[in-house]
Amino acid sequence: MNLENRLKQLESKIKLTNHVPEKPFDIDQYMTRLGLDPMAVRESAHSTCKSIVEAMCEMLGIEPSAFIRLLKEKANLVR
């Protein structure tokens, strides 16, 4: 058995222990859930040279740093 075949054989025996399948992420869906128009958010972001998240925060009236903090808190709760 050559080395390449042996490696393939060993790789086939490896099992992931913490594999979590990713859920599809549609940012337009989340913007809509927040009561925002995705096209308006994109246009605002483009016209002001800001990111989509910054434009969303501006439209929602919150600071981007507060938004990021809330996301991190939620991410830690999900685990």
| Confidence check: pLDDT of 5 > 60 | yes
| Cα separation, 7 vs 11, whole angstroms | 6
Q: 6 in a domain, yes or no?
A: no
Q: Which of the four pLDDT bands, split at 50, 70 and 90, describes residue 78?
A: low
Question: What is the reported pTM?
Answer: 0.61
Tally of domains within the chain: 1
Its domain, for residue 63, covers 24-78
Q: 38 in a domain, yes or no?
A: yes
Query: Please, which contacts does 5-8 make with residues 24 or more away whose CB atoms are closer than 8 Å?
Result: none
**Each residue's pLDDT tens digit, 14-64:** 776 666 667 787 899 989 999 999 999 999 999 999 999 999 999 999 999
pLDDT at residue 20, as a whole number: 65
